[in-house]
Amino acid sequence: MKIVAIITEDFSLFYDLVRELKRARVSFVSLSFDDAIPSNVGIVLTTLEEAPRVKFHEKLAVGKGADLQAIINEAKRRMRGVETYGKLIIGIDPGVRPGYAVVSAGAVLYTAQLARPEDVTETTRHVLALYPAREVVVRVGHGDPTNRNRTINAIQGLGLRIEIVDEHRTTKRTEFPDIDAAINIALLSGHTVTGPVPVAPTIGELKNIQRKSRLASEGMVTISTHLAERVAKGQLTLEEAIFLQEGKGKPPPKKAKKRLRKERKAGEVDKDEDIADEEE
């Protein structure tokens, strides 16, 4: 029969897990990170922070304040080889680079920092294939309305229930604040959203994107308000908008972007050399 292994240097969590495992009459073993994991271990319990250090195919990362009874039940379910989860909750902290977390029965199954709001679609498809469940809920924090609504619209086509959650006080000063906020958002209930939602960038957001275009082009280009709006809505990347503003037609392919940056820098060097020649 498979047993549970506890591997953590968090003494408080260790004693709490021992208490709950004994109460549930689940056999377990305590191991250090240097110990070999016995062949009769079916799953490892550890903390979210320590999970990357555990080299084992089946593990549960326990977040702070997690329902330990639910964690133990999830561990038992996995050791029995049950393939379908009961309820899967996806928490998303909206932003330019959203935090993403998947929780089931209080256990954190998956986390990621996404590159852009629209990436939630492919990431969620991956999660649904990896963790099949009878019920799936997506919970999105209410902050950053522009990127929140981009996120909601991107995920609408998957046919999942989407809730907007009051994310007040979910973001903490941690090593991975967006991911930790996504975990906290997943654990809160919200109000259901149906249908596409409008993406309406504010004037302040557009001016900030224009500022970023000046920084990215080293002061050479400020993109128009129209292009800034397209960037805010996810229709263009900032680099593509700068290219269009320069009047060079279609946005460059990805492989050409590095070359363009090199050409621009080379042009500035040539200009400096011309000036030097004139001075001589």
Residue 195 clears pLDDT 90, i.e. is over it: no
Kindly state the percentage of the chain with pLDDT values over 70: 85
Torsion angle of the four alpha carbons 56, 58, 64, 65, in this order, in degrees rounded to the nearest 10: -150
Strand pairing partners for 111? 101
Angle at 25 between CA 59 and CA 60, to 5 degrees: 10
pLDDT value of residue 164: 95
pLDDT tens column, 119-141: 999 889 878 877 888 899 999 99
pLDDT value, residue 271: 42
pTM above 0.85, yes or no: no
Looking at residue 11, the DSSP 8-state letter turns out to be H
**Domains of the chain, first to last:** 3-79 (3.40.50.2300), 85-193 (3.30.420.140), 203-279 (no CATH)
pLDDT, one tens digit per residue, over 244-262 is 998 865 555 554 455 445 4
Q: What percent of the chain has pLDDT over 90?
A: 55
Which residues is 164 bridged to in the sheet? Answer: 140, 191
